[in-house]
C-alpha cells in the first residue's frame, strides 16, 4: 500500500505512543457494517484479541471477531488448513451470511496466497457455496486502519456487487468511509431519505454499531448492509463516495456496474454540506426539505456566534487521513490556525490539507508540535501527551475509550457541523470564561484588560445583552 | 532456544495442574490446542506484556508491526505511584522494507532513541511473531545495546504464536529470572523482607494491602510487577519469603527463586476476608520460621482481629439488601473463587460458575464447598448464558469485560471483576468495595425502566 505522495515522516526508528492502528482492524470494522457477518483474522489469536478489545472499548458493544489461531507450526507449514477449518467451524456454529477474512502480519510475512486459498476452498467445499466469502490482504506491516477499511470495502464490492440490467429510480449507493461514525452514517441516511431517495449504504455501521438491543444473543454482526442490498447496488442511479479512501472501491463498483460516481471528500463544513445537499436535490429533482433549510440557517448563525472563539486559535490535529482532512478543513473554515496535522499513514488526501506542518507521525510528534497550542484534536490515546503539555484534548476518531457514545457523535451535514462547532467552540469559550474568573490574563503587561467588567468586543459572548 | 524454554515451562513442577498429568500429556503442554474459528483470548506476547508492563519506570519496547502495540497500548488498569513511562507505547512499527531487510538495525536504533530521550533504568524488548519469522536475533541486539549504552536491555522472547496468554506470563517470568532478578543488591536487608509475585496493582489494589504490611512490620522488598521499579525487581532475590498470587501464571518464578536462593514460597490470595487473613498468617508464620521476631505473628493477629471485625460490621448493612439475590460467576480460576466466601457471608447466593480455566483441584474444592447441586460449566456458550440471564436465573453476573454484553444485552446487572475494572477489590476494604459496587448496580433505578415495553409494543 505505497502511495506516490510522500509527506515527511518522522525520522525516528521508534514510534512512541503510536497513532497508527493496523490494517486488519480497519478491515474488521468495514465487515462489521455488513449484516450477519463475521470478520476473521488469518493470524495468531493475539491479533484478534487486541483488535477485539479496542473495538469493544470504543463502541461499548459486543464485537464478533474470530481468528484462524495460527501457531508456529501452521505459520511455517502454511495456514490453509487453519483457514479452512476456521471457516467451516464458523459456518457450522454461527451460520453467518458472510465471512470477511483479513490477513495479518504473520500470514503476509509467510506470503499466504489468498486468491489461491479462495479457489481451493471453493473447490473443496462445494456444500458451502451459499456462504459468501470475501478475502482481503491487510498486512500489519503496511498501511494502516484506513487502508484496511478501504481494502475490505473494495473486496466486498469486487466479490459481491454485480451488474444489474435495470436502474431503480431513486436508489442511490453510498460508500461510507471509516471517518464517518455510526452516528454520521445515520445522519446521512436521514438526509438522503428526506429527498425521497432510497440509499444503500456500504458498509452500514449505523445499523450494527449504534447500541442494539437484540432479542437473542447473536454471535455475528447484528444489522448492517445485507448481501441482497450489495447485489442490488448495480441498479442504483448513482454512487456517492464519501472520503478519499473510498475512491478505489467506487472505481471498482463503477467498473463492475456502470453506476456513475460522485465524490465528496468531506461533509463537515458549510460549503462541503452545501455541495452534498445540492447534489441530492439534483439527483432527486426535489427541492431541499424545510428541515434542512432550517438546519443550514442555524449553522450559519452558529458560525456567526462562534467564530470569535475559533479565530487564530492554534490547534494540532492527529487523526486518520480522511478524518484529519475533514476536521482540519472545518477548522480552517472557522479561521483557526492548524499548527500541525499529523496522520498515522501516507495517503493521497494529505495533499489537500492546509496546516503549518503536515506530518506522518505518532502522538509523541503531536506532543512536540502542539506545545503552546490552544487545543489538540485526536483520539483518546492523545490524553497522556495533552496532559503533559497542559493543552486540552478534544476527542475524535477511534479509539475513544474514555467517553460514552463515542460511536454516535455526529459531525456531518449542517446539523453535524453545528454540533462539532459548538463542541469545540465551547472548549475555547469555557477556557476564556475560566480565565476571566480567575483574574489571569492573556498578555503580559496589560494585567487588567478585562477589569472594567465588560468583555468588550463581544469575543466572550457576554456583551450580547 | 525458545522451544526448550517452552518445554521447561510446561514441565513446571511447582504447578499442581501439570504434576497431575502423565509425562506424555505434560510434554504436550498446558495450552489446549486452539480451535481455528472458535478461539478466544490473548497470545503469548499479550501475556508477557500483562506480567511485565506494570514495572513502571521501564520502557517497554515492542519489536513488531503496528498491530502488536498500536492496537493495544494504554489499555490496562495497572497503577503507578511514580513514573509513568510504562504507560507510553514504544514500537519499532516494522514496515514492508524491514520485513525484507530484517529489523535488527531498526531495533538497535529504537533502543538508542529511547535511552537518549527517556533515560529509563532499563529497556524491555518484546519479540513478536513477524521478527521471529524473519529471524531477527533480538537477544544479540539487546546484548550489544546493553554493552554499548551501559544499561540493561532485556529481551522478552514470547512471540504470539508460541501459545496462550498464560504461557506468555511464564516466559516473561523466565526472562526476569534469566536477566533481571539477582543482578543488583539492596542497600538494606531486613528479616521481614518479602517479594510478591503476580500482583499487578490493578486499580491500585496493592495499595489496599500495603498499609497492612506496614502496620504489621512486613517490608515489601519487591513486587512483581505492580507499581514496581526496575531496581526493586533486580533485588527480589534478597527477600526472605515469596508469595505467589494468581498461582498458575508465575509459579515458575517462585519455585526457581526457592531453588536458586533458597527463598521459600507460598501461594496466596488477597481476595476475600478469609483468604486475606490466611495470607497474612502464613506470611508472618513463615517469616518467623526464617528468623524474624515472634512479635510479628502477634501484630498480624491483632491486625486480623481488628480488620475482620471491622469488615463484618461493614458488610452487615448489605446482608438484608442482598438476601435472596443470585450471582452468576463467569470467570476463571482461583482468584475470583476466593471472593465467593466473602460474597456469601454478605448474603449473596452463588448459583453457578464457569470452570473453563479452573484446575481439577479447583473443581474438587468447589464441589466440596457447594455440594452437588451447584452448577459448574466447562464450556458454556455465550448464547446459553444470555438465555439463562434472560430467563432470570440470576440477578447479577460477575465476569470480565469481554463478556459484559451478554449480561447487559439481557438487561441484567453486571459487574467487572477482571483486568480492566476500575475499582480495587483486594484486602478487607476491597471486599466492602465489591459489595458496595454490587449493591449500587443491583439497586440502580434503570433496570425497571429499560425492561419496559416500548409504546408501540
Give, in degrees to the nearest 5, the angle at Cα A288 between A287 and A293: 140
- Please indicate whether, in this complex, the C-beta atoms of A139 and B42 are within 8 angstroms of each other: no
Q: What is the mean pLDDT of chain B?
A: 89
Residues 6+ apart with CB under 8 A from A420: A268, A330, A411
H/E stretch holding A261: strand A261-264
Chain A residues touching B74 at Cβ < 8 A: 381, 384
Nearest CA to CA, how far is B161 from chain A (Å)?
5
Looking at residue B15, what is its pLDDT? 65
Looking at the structure, tell me whether residues B47 and B155 fall in a common domain. Answer: yes
Domain termination residue (choose one: B146, B179, B212): B179
pLDDT digits 0-9 by tens, B403-434: 888 899 999 999 988 766 778 889 999 999 99
Cell 526448550 sits at which residue? B4
B36, B173: one domain:
yes
Considering the domain boundaries, does residue B10 fall inside one?
Answer: no
B90 and B35 within one domain: yes
Same-domain check for residues A403 and A349: yes
CA-based nearest residue to B191, from B215, B211, B218: B218
Chain A residues with CB inside 8 Å of B43's CB?
A: 44-47, 49
Question: Do both B52 and B86 map to the same domain?
Answer: yes
Provide the pLDDT for residue A459.
44
Check whether A442 has a pLDDT greater than 60. Answer: no
Instruction: Collect all residues of chain A within an 8 Å Cβ-Cβ radius of residue B134.
Output: 109
Strand-by-strand arrangement of the A238-242 sheet:
A198-202, A171-176, A238-242, A261-264
Q: Is the pLDDT of residue B4 over 90?
A: no
The neighbour count for residue A121, using CB atoms within 10 Å, is 19
Q: What is the pLDDT of residue B32?
A: 59
Q: Is A256 exposed, middle or buried (0-12, 13-18, 19+ CB in 10 A)?
A: middle
Q: Is residue A16 part of a domain?
A: no
pLDDT band at A257 (very low <50, low <70, confident <90, very high): very high
Q: Is A219 on the interface with B (CB under 8 A)?
A: yes
Question: Which chain A positions have a beta carbon within 8 Å of B387's beta carbon?
Answer: 217
Give the distance from residue B94's alpha carbon to the nearest chain A alpha carbon, in angstroms. 6
The closest alpha carbon to B339, from B401, B283, B423, belongs to B423
Q: What is the pLDDT of residue A463?
A: 37
Angle subtended by helix axes B427-442 and B334-345, to nearest 10: 70
Contact A67, B86 (CB under 8 A): no
pLDDT (tens digit per residue) in B365-379: 667 767 666 777 777
Q: DSSP states of B191-239 as a string?
A: TTEEEEEEE--BTTTHHHHHHHHHHHT-EEEEEEETTB-HHHHHTGGG-
Query: A46, B406: Cβ pair inside 8 Å?
Result: no
**For the residues B227-247, what does the mean pLDDT come to?**
93
Q: What's the rounded Cα separation, in Å, for the pair B243 and B196? A: 5
Does the pTM exceed 0.90? yes
Confidence of residue A2 (pLDDT cuts 50, 70, 90): very low
The answer on A420 and A402 residing in a single domain is yes
Check A45 against B39: CB less than 8 A apart. Answer: yes
Q: How far apart are CA A332 and CA B343, in angstroms?
A: 57
**Cβ-defined contact of B409 to A56 (cutoff 8 Å):** no
Choice between B249 and B248, residue whose per-residue pLDDT is larger: B249
- Which residue in B34, B98, B402 is closest to A45 by CB distance? B34
Dihedral (CA of B388, B390, B393, B394) sign: positive
CB contact (8 A) between residue A14 and residue B61 = yes
User: Which residue in A57, A140, A213, A395 has the most chain B C-beta atoms within 10 A of its own C-beta, making it the best mutation to test that interface?
Assistant: A140
| Burial classification of residue A289, based on how many CB atoms lie within 10 Å of its CB (0-12 exposed, 13-18 middle, 19 or more buried) | middle
A75 contact B CB<8A: yes
Using CB atoms, pick whichever of A18, A71, A87 lies closest to residue B37. Answer: A87
Asked if A46 has any chain B CB less than 8 Å from its own CB, the reply is: yes
Rounded CA-CA distance A394/B330 in Å is 37
Q: Give me the count of residues in chain A.
A: 465
B436-453 pLDDT, tens digit each: 999 999 999 999 999 999
**In this model, does residue B295 exceed pLDDT 80?**
yes
Q: Which three cell numbers stand for residue B59?
A: 520502557
SS3 B145: helix
Among B123, B154, B179, give the residue marking a domain's end.
B179
| Three cell numbers, residue A245 | 479512501
Residue A458 has pLDDT above 90, yes or no: no
A175: CATH: 3.40.50.1980
Let me know: does A172 contact A199? Beta carbons within 8 Å. Answer: yes
SS (H, E, C) A310-329: HCCCEEEEECCHHHHHHHHH
Q: Do A99 and A195 lie in a common domain?
A: no
Residue B271 structural domain: 193-310
Nine cell digits for residue A90: 464458523
**β-strand pairing of B265-268 with B375-377:** unpaired
Distance (Å, whole) CA B318 – CA A415: 48
Looking at the fold, whether B294 and B250 belong to one and the same domain comes out as yes
Closest CA–CA distance from residue A371 to any residue of chain B (Å):
17
A50 in B contact zone (CB under 8 Å): yes
Q: Identify whether the C-beta of residue B300 lies closer than 8 Å to the C-beta of residue B307.
A: no
Please list every residue in chain B whose beta carbon sits closer than 8 Å to the beta carbon of residue A14. Answer: 61, 90-92, 109-111, 113-114
B324: left (phi over 0), alpha (psi -120 to 50) or beta: left
The answer to whether A404 faces chain B, any CB pair under 8 Å, is: no
B81-93 pLDDT tens trace: 999 999 999 999 9
Closest partner residue to A14 (CB to CB) among B90, B160, B410 is B90
Q: What is the pLDDT of residues A100-159, one digit of tens each?
A: 999 999 999 999 999 999 999 999 999 999 999 999 999 999 999 999 999 999 999 999
Q: Would you tell me how many other CB atoms lie within 10 Å of the CB of residue A111?
A: 9
Residue B356 has what pLDDT?
67
Burial of A45 (0-12, 13-18, 19+ CB in 10 A): buried
Interface test with B, best of A10, A25, A50 (most B CBs within 10 A): A50
- Whether B231 and B111 share a structural domain: no
Query: Regarding predicted confidence, which is higher, B453 or A438?
Result: B453
Which of A438 and A306 is assigned the larger pLDDT? A306
Which of B75, B88, B96 is the closest to A141 by Cβ? Answer: B96
Chain B residues lying within 8 Å of A48, measured CB to CB: 39
Spatial contact of B202 and B44, defined as CB atoms under 8 Å apart: no
Residue of A12, A42, A45 best to disrupt the B interface, most CBs of B under 10 A: A45
Torsion of CA A68, A74, A76, A80, to 10 degrees: -60
Query: Would you say residue B287 lies in a domain?
Result: yes
Chain B residue numbers touching A44 (CB-CB < 8 A)? 43, 129, 160-161
Q: How far is A163 from chain B (nearest CA, A)?
A: 33
Backbone angles phi, psi at A307, to 5 degrees: -60, -25
* Distance (Å) of CA A363 to CA A141, A145, A168: 19, 16, 47
CA distance A365 to A378: 12
Is B287 found in the same domain as B358? no
To probe the interface with B, which of A18, A25, A43, A46 has the most B CB atoms within 10 Å? A46
Q: How many domains does chain B have?
A: 3
Domain boundary among the residues A150, A182, A210 is at: A150
- On whether both A364 and A402 belong to a single domain, the answer is yes
Task: Give the pLDDT confidence score for residue B77 in this predicted structure.
Answer: 85
Q: What is the structure's pLDDT at B28? A: 58
The rounded Cα B299 to chain-centroid distance in angstroms is: 29
Element (H, E) at A227: helix A227-231
Residue linked to cell 457447594: B370
Q: Counting beta carbons within 10 angstroms of the beta carbon of residue A17, is it exposed (0 to 12), middle (13 to 18) or buried (19 or more)?
A: buried
The tens digit of pLDDT for each residue in B307-318 reads: 999 999 999 999
Cell matching residue B433: 468495595
Chain A 366-385, CB below 8 Å of chain B: which residues?
A: 381, 384
Name the closest residue on chain B to residue A15, using Cα atoms.
B91
Residues A335 and A369 in one domain: yes
Which of B71, B84, B88 minimises the CB distance to A22? B71
Identify the closest residue of chain B to A401 by CA–CA distance.
Answer: B75
**Cβ pair A117, B141 in contact under 8 A:** no
- pLDDT tens for each residue of B133-180: 999 999 999 999 999 999 999 999 999 999 988 899 999 999 999 999
pLDDT tens by residue, A307-321: 999 999 999 999 999
The answer to whether residues A223 and A264 belong to one domain is: yes
Q: Give CA–CA dist A85/A177, Å, rounded.
A: 32
In a domain, B6, yes or no: no
| Contact yes or no for B38 and A21 at CB 8 A | no
pLDDT band at A256 (very low <50, low <70, confident <90, very high): very high
Long-range contacts, A403-406 (Cβ 8 Å, 24+)? A404/A60, A406/A58, A406/A59, A406/A60, A406/A181
Q: What is the CATH number of the domain that holds B208?
A: 3.40.50.12380
Establish if A387 touches chain B: CB-CB under 8 angstroms.
no
**A160-176 tens-digit pLDDT:** 999 999 999 999 999 99
Percent of chain B with pLDDT over 70: 89
Q: Do A50 and B46 touch (CB under 8 A)?
A: yes
pLDDT at A445: 41
Residues sharing a CB contact under 8 Å with residue A140, sequence separation 6 or more, in sequence order: A22, A23, A24, A47, A104, A105, A108, B65, B66, B67, B68, B130
Query: Residue A386 contacts by C-beta under 8 Å, 6 or more apart in sequence?
Result: A370, A376, A378, A392, A393
Cβ of B37 within 8 Å of Cβ of A17? The answer is no
Cα A246 from Cα A273, distance rounded (Å): 18
Nearest CA in chain B to A79: B36
Same domain, B166 and B227: no
* End residue of a domain, out of A293, A328, A347: A293
Question: How many domains, in total, are found in chain A?
Answer: 3
Q: Is the pLDDT of residue A462 over 60?
A: no
A266 and A388 both lie in a single domain = no
Whether A42 and A72 share a structural domain: yes
A306/A288 same-domain check: no
Cα gap A238→A201, rounded to integer Å: 12
Range of the domain at A205: 171-293
Residues B38, B167: one domain? yes
- Neighbouring CB atoms inside 10 A of A190's CB total 15
Residue from the list A82, A139, A213 with its beta carbon closest to the beta carbon of B409: A213
Q: Percentage of chain A with pLDDT > 90?
A: 85
User: Would you say residue A1 has pLDDT above 60?
Assistant: no
Q: What is the pLDDT of residue A457?
A: 41
Res B296 pLDDT > 90: yes
Size of interface A-B (CB pairs under 8 A): 208
**Is A82 contained in some domain?**
yes
Whether the per-residue pLDDT at A20 is higher than 70: the answer is: yes
Q: Residues for chain B: how many in total?
A: 457
Q: Note whether A144 contacts B66, CB cutoff 8 Å.
A: yes
Whether residues B139 and B212 fall in one domain: no
- Assess if residue A398 is contained within a domain: yes
- Alpha carbon distance B455, B457 (integer Å): 6
ipTM summary value = 0.92
**Structural domain contains residue A350:** yes
Q: Do A70 and A145 belong to one domain?
A: yes
Of A53, A110, A217, the CB nearest to B383: A217
Burial of residue B309 (CB within 10 Å: 0-12, 13-18, 19+) is: exposed
Which chain B residue has the Cα nearest residue A105?
A: B130
Is B92 close to A13, i.e. CB distance below 8 A? yes
Nearest-by-Cβ selection for B67 from A22, A83, A381: A22
pLDDT of B231 strictly over 60: yes
- The mean pLDDT value of chain A amounts to 92
Average pLDDT over residues A49-60: 93
In a domain, A307, yes or no: yes
Of B179, B207, B238, which closes a domain?
A: B179
Environment class of A177 (CB within 10 Å of its CB; exposed 0-12, middle 13-18, buried 19+): buried
Using the predicted structure, report yes or no on whether residue A209 has a pLDDT greater than 50: yes
Average confidence (pLDDT) over A180-209: 97
The DSSP symbol for A450 reads T
**What are the chain B neighbours of A381 within 8 Å (beta carbons)?**
73-74, 89
The verdict on A109 touching B (C-beta cutoff 8 Å) is: yes
Q: Judge whether B329 lies within some domain.
A: yes
Per DSSP, the three-state class of A455 is coil
pLDDT at A432: 87
Q: What percent of chain B shows pLDDT beyond 90?
A: 65
Amino acid at each position: 500500500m505505497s502511495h506516490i505522495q510522500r509527506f515527511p515522516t518522522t525520522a525516528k526508528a521508534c514510534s512512541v505512543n503510536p497513532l497508527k492502528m493496523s490494517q486488519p482492524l480497519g478491515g474488521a470494522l468495514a465487515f462489521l457494517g455488513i449484516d450477519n457477518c463475521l470478520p476473521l483474522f488469518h493470524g495468531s489469536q493475539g491479533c484478534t484479541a487486541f483488535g477485539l478489545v479496542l473495538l469493544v472499548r470504543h463502541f461499548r458493544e459486543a464485537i464478533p471477531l474470530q481468528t484462524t489461531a495460527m501457531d508456529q507450526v501452521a505459520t511455517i507449514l502454511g495456514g490453509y488448513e487453519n483457514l479452512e477449518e476456521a471457516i467451516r467451524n464458523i459456518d457450522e456454529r454461527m451460520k453467518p451470511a458472510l465471512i470477511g477474512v483479513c490477513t495479518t502480519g504473520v500470514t503476509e510475512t509467510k506470503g499466504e496466497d489468498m486468491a489461491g486459498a479462495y479457489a481451493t476452498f471453493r473447490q473443496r467445499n462445494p456444500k458451502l457455496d451459499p456462504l459468501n466469502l470475501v478475502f482481503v490482504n491487510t498486512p500489519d506491516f503496511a498501511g494502516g486502519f484506513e487502508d484496511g477499511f478501504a481494502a475490505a470495502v473494495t473486496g466486498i464490492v469486487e466479490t459481491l456487487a454485480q451488474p444489474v440490467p435495470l436502474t431503480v429510480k431513486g436508489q442511490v449507493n453510498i460508500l461510507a468511509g471509516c471517518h464517518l461514525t455510526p452516528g454520521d452514517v445515520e445522519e446521512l441516511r436521514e438526509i438522503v431519505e428526506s429527498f425521497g431517495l432510497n440509499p444503500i449504504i456500504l458498509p452500514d455501521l449505523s445499523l450494527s454499531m449504534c447500541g442494539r438491543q437484540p432479542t437473542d444473543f447473536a454471535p455475528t454482526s447484528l444489522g448492517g448492509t445485507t448481501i441482497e442490498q450489495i447485489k442490488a447496488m448495480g441498479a442504483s442511479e448513482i454512487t456517492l463516495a464519501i472520503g478519499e479512501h473510498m475512491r478505489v472501491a467506487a472505481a471498482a463498483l463503477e467498473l463492475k456496474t456502470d453506476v456513475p460516481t460522485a465524490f465528496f471528500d468531506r461533509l463537515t463544513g458549510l460549503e462541503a454540506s452545501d455541495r452534498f445537499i445540492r447534489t441530492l436535490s439534483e439527483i432527486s429533482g426535489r427541492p431541499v426539505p424545510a428541515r434542512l433549510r432550517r438546519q443550514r440557517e442555524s449553522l450559519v448563525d452558529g458560525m456567526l456566534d462562534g467564530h470569535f472563539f475559533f479565530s487564530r486559535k492554534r490547534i494540532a490535529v492527529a487523526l486518520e487521513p480522511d478524518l484529519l482532512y475533514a476536521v482540519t478543513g472545518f477548522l480552517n473554515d472557522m479561521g483557526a490556525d492548524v499548527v500541525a496535522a499529523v496522520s498515522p499513514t501516507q495517503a493521497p488526501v494529505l495533499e489537500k490539507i492546509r496546516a503549518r506542518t503536515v506530518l506522518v507521525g505518532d502522538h509523541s510528534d503531536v506532543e512536540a508540535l502542539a506545545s503552546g497550542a490552544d487545543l489538540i484534536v485526536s483520539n483518546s490515546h492523545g490524553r497522556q501527551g495533552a496532559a503533559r503539555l497542559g493543552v486540552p484534548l478534544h476527542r475524535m476518531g477511534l479509539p475513544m475509550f474514555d467517553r460514552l457514545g463515542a460511536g454516535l457523535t455526529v459531525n456531518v451535514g449542517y446539523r453535524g457541523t453545528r454540533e462539532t462547532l459548538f463542541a469545540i467552540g465551547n472548549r475555547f469559550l469555557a477556557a476564556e470564561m475560566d480565565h476571566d474568573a480567575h483574574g489571569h490574563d492573556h498578555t503580559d503587561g496589560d494585567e487588567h484588560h478585562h477589569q472594567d467588567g465588560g468583555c468588550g468586543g463581544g469575543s466572550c459572548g457576554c456583551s450580547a445583552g | 532456544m525458545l522451544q526448550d524454554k517452552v518445554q521447561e515451562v510446561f514441565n513446571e513442577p511447582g504447578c499442581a495442574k501439570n504434576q497431575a498429568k502423565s509425562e506424555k500429556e505434560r510434554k504436550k503442554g498446558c495450552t489446549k490446542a486452539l480451535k481455528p474459528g472458535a478461539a478466544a483470548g490473548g497470545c503469548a506476547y499479550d501475556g508477557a506484556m500483562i506480567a511485565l508492563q506494570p514495572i513502571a519506570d521501564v520502557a517497554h519496547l515492542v519489536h513488531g508491526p503496528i498491530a502488536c502495540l498500536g492496537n493495544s497500548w494504554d489499555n490496562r488498569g495497572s497503577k503507578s505511584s511514580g513514573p509513568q513511562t510504562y504507560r507510553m507505547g514504544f514500537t519499532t512499527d516494522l514496515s514492508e522494507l524491514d520485513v525484507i531487510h530484517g529489523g535488527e538495525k531498526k531495533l538497535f536504533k529504537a533502543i538508542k532513541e529511547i535511552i537518549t530521550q527517556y533515560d529509563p533504568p532499563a529497556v524491555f524488548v518484546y519479540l513478536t511473531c513477524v521478527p521471529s519469522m524473519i529471524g531477527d536475533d533480538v537477544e544479540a541486539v539487546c546484548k550489544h545495546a546493553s554493552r554499548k549504552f551501559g544499561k540493561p536491555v532485556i529481551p522478552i522472547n514470547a512471540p504470539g504464536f508460541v501459545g496462550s496468554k498464560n504461557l506468555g506470563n511464564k516466559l516473561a517470568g523466565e526472562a526476569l529470572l534469566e536477566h533481571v532478578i539477582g543482578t543488583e543488591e539492596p542497600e538494606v536487608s531486613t528479616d521481614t523482607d518479602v517479594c510478591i509475585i503476580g500482583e499487578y496493582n490493578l486499580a491500585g489494589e496493592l495499595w489496599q494491602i500495603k498499609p497492612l504490611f506496614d502496620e504489621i512490620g512486613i517490608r515489601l522488598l519487591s513486587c512483581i510487577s505492580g507499581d514496581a521499579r526496575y531496581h526493586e525487581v533486580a533485588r527480589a532475590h534478597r527477600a526472605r519469603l515469596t508469595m505467589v498470587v494468581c498461582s498458575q501464571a508465575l509459579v515458575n518464578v517462585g519455585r526457581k527463586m526457592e531453588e536458586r536462593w533458597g527463598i521459600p514460597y507460598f501461594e496466596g490470595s488477597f481476595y476475600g476476608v478469609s483468604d486475606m487473613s490466611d495470607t497474612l498468617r502464613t506470611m508472618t508464620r513463615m517469616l518467623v520460621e526464617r528468623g524474624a521476631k515472634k512479635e510479628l505473628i502477634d501484630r498480624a493477629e491483632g491486625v486480623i482481629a481488628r480488620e475482620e471485625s471491622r469488615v463484618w460490621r461493614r458488610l452487615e448493612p448489605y446482608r438484608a439488601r442482598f438476601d435472596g439475590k443470585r450471582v452468576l460467576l463467569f470467570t476463571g480460576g482461583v482468584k475470583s473463587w476466593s471472593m465467593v466466601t466473602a460474597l456469601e457471608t454478605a448474603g449473596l447466593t452463588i448459583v453457578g460458575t464457569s470452570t473453563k480455566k479452573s484446575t481439577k483441584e479447583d473443581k474438587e474444592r468447589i464441589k466440596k464447598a457447594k455440594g452437588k447441586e451447584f452448577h459448574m460449566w466447562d464450556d458454556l456458550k455465550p448464547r446459553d448464558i444470555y438465555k439463562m440471564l434472560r430467563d432470570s436465573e440470576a440477578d447479577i453476573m460477575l465476569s470480565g469485560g469481554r463478556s459484559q454484553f451478554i449480561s447487559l444485552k439481557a438487561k441484567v446487572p453486571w459487574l467487572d471483576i477482571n483486568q480492566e475494572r476500575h475499582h480495587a477489590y483486594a484486602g478487607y476494604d476491597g471486599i466492602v468495595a465489591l459489595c458496595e459496587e454490587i449493591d449500587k448496580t443491583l439497586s440502580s433505578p434503570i433496570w425497571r425502566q429499560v425492561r419496559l415495553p416500548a409504546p408501540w409494543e
